[in-house]
Chains A and B, each alone.
Chain A
């Protein structure tokens, strides 16, 4: 059973059209939930870490939120340069410090 499920798999937005990406997780005790951005052929770039339900973090047009079962990455007024794959990962006590990743959401923002 997948521990991390991201939806949608792909999302196409017009520039300025706000939306949210979802990351649902099934772990017994969350150590941390991480959001990364990955451009094609590159390594993931760290965006946010969230540790407890109710926590929120913001960076430019991105805002990450966390509940007990899922996290959302809200993108406000996106620009074409926000196009990338967004990966969500969790750390849980059973996996120590390993990151368990979802498959990612591929975001395309058109002008």
Chain B
């Protein structure tokens, strides 16, 4: 059973450039969440996609955008990169349970290490 996969593993960009990160959820999962993890910090929630729509968003600027495809895979796009965007970007998948009280467990991928020079 394939777990969450992410690509690429590492990426080096310069300030002002744009980047696209990709995620395939765990088999059977339909919800994808993206997190940013700076060195020495816990992951910070960026946004969540379910049924190809952004359902929830954390405190991140509009430079961060995403997309979910019919096969449940997802992309994270970051425009006008800043030095402070350097981080480990994590994708997590879960089984969507909209309207239910309990949130489903999120399973994380290995992450994409983004370095902005």
Please report A residues at the B interface, Cβ cutoff 8 Å: 4, 31-32, 34, 36, 41-46, 49, 51, 87, 89, 91, 95-104
CB of B6 to closest CB in A, whole Å: 8
Q: Once bound together, how far apart are the Cα atoms of A51 and B105, in whole Å?
A: 11
Using known A-B contacts A44-B90, A97-B56, determine if residue A36 contacts B45 with beta carbons closer than 8 Å. Answer: no
A46 contacts B103, C-beta separation under 8 Å: no
- State the 6 A-B residue pairs at the shortest beta-carbon distance, nearest first: A101-B42, A43-B108, A98-B45, A97-B103, A91-B103, A96-B56
Contact between chains at A103 and B90 (CB < 8 Å)? no
**Separation in Å of the A89 CB from the closest CB of chain B?**
7
Give the shortest distance, in Å, between B74 (CB) and chain A (any CB): 15
The interface size bin for chain B is 20 to 34
Which residues of B come within 8 Å of A, CB atoms? 4, 6, 31, 33, 35, 40-45, 48, 55-56, 58, 88, 90, 92, 94, 101-111, 113
Interface pair B42/A103, CB less than 8 Å apart: yes
Tell which of B42, B101, B107, B109 has the most Cβ of chain A within 10 Å: B42
B95 smallest CB distance to A (angstroms): 11
A104 pairs with B103, CB closer than 8 A: no
Q: Which residues of chain B have C-beta atoms less than 8 A from A96's C-beta?
A: 48, 55-56, 103
Closest to A4 in B: B42
Residue pair A98, B90 in contact (C-beta under 8 Å)? no
A90 shortest CB reach to chain B, Å: 10
Q: Name A101's contact: one of B31, B44, B110, B111 (CB within 8 Å).
A: B44
